[in-house]
Amino acid sequence: MNIIACYKWVLDEQDIKITAGSLTLDTSRAKGKISEYDKNAIEEAVVQAEGCGVEVISLTFGGSKAKQSLKDALSRGPAKGYWVNDAAADRADGYVTANVLAAAIRKIGDYGLVLFGEGSADTYGQQVGPRVATLLEIPAITFVSQFKIEGDTVTAIRKLENCTEQISAKLPVVITVLPEINKPRIPSLKQVLGAAKKSAQEWKVTDLGLDTQALEPKTKVKSIQGFVMKRKNQIYKAGTVEEKVEAFVTALNKDGVL
């Protein structure tokens, strides 16, 4: 059974500017990219497929601009890609995205493993992977730092806040991976050129048999503002080194830092 690597096309945060005064985000010059967390998912899918002798399929849900992602995703190792093209992706929350991806995965079929990044680089809701697993009625293993496939079983190490946890589950399984699981490859020129020859299929939401309720977000973003950190910039000049350190520590205690 094949491995499906899901990813999201997001704005490059390095290109996003904060408008002075209003703190609104200026995305007019922001370019798109595959979410950094999802690059780990694609990379791990390819690595695992090489060991199992199966095929990797990339899958994304996005608007017209997401078409740019197909060549990039395929240059990273997947044999073919699917793109669910719909303007609804621009306002989709985790609920809608999971409904669309789960329906697309059912349509693709013949999957043993579905990989996600731990969250997307824009909203970082960490909901889509577990939601897709619930819709597909298969196990979900989240926050995975390493895993291996043996036969029809996957054994994974989950990294939690103050411990690690080892879990095994029968395929098919949804796994969300942490960035530390690997270092995504930088595609070579040969891989980039080869990606243009691979199959990339476009679907519309209407091809997936979803009703209108499945495409109605449960949460709606009214506005987004940038955050500007204000610093006190206090400089301690008077006194000896010991006195300066004491004054510094006193100030931190007063502000509740220590």
Which token pair is 25? 């985000």
Give start and end residues of each alpha helix (H) in the chain: 36-52, 69-75, 94-108, 128-136, 189-195, 241-254
How confident is the prediction for the chain on average, in pLDDT? Answer: 93
Q: Which pLDDT belongs to residue 242?
A: 92
Q: Which pLDDT belongs to residue 137?
A: 97
Q: Which pLDDT belongs to residue 139?
A: 97
> Please, which residues have CB within 8 angstroms of residue 193's CB and are 6 or more apart in sequence?
none
> Could you list the mean pLDDT of each consecutive 10-residue stretch along the chain, which spans 258 residues?
95 89 87 95 96 93 95 96 94 95 96 95 91 97 96 95 94 97 95 95 94 91 82 86 91 85
46 neighbors 77 (Cβ within 8 angstroms): yes
Which token pair is 143? 């926050």
Which token pair is 146? 């390493």
Q: Which pLDDT belongs to residue 100?
A: 97
58 neighbors 78 (Cβ within 8 angstroms): yes
* Cis before 172 (ω within 30): yes
What DSSP character marks residue 19?
P
Residue 119 has phi, psi (to 5 degrees) of -170, 170
Handedness of CA 8, 13, 16, 19 (dihedral sign): positive
Q: CA-to-CA distance for 206 and 153, rounded, in angstroms?
A: 35
* Cis before 130 (ω within 30): no
Query: pTM of the predicted model, to two decimals?
Result: 0.85
9 three-class SS: strand
Handedness of CA 245, 247, 252, 256 (dihedral sign): positive
Q: Which pLDDT belongs to residue 32?
A: 94
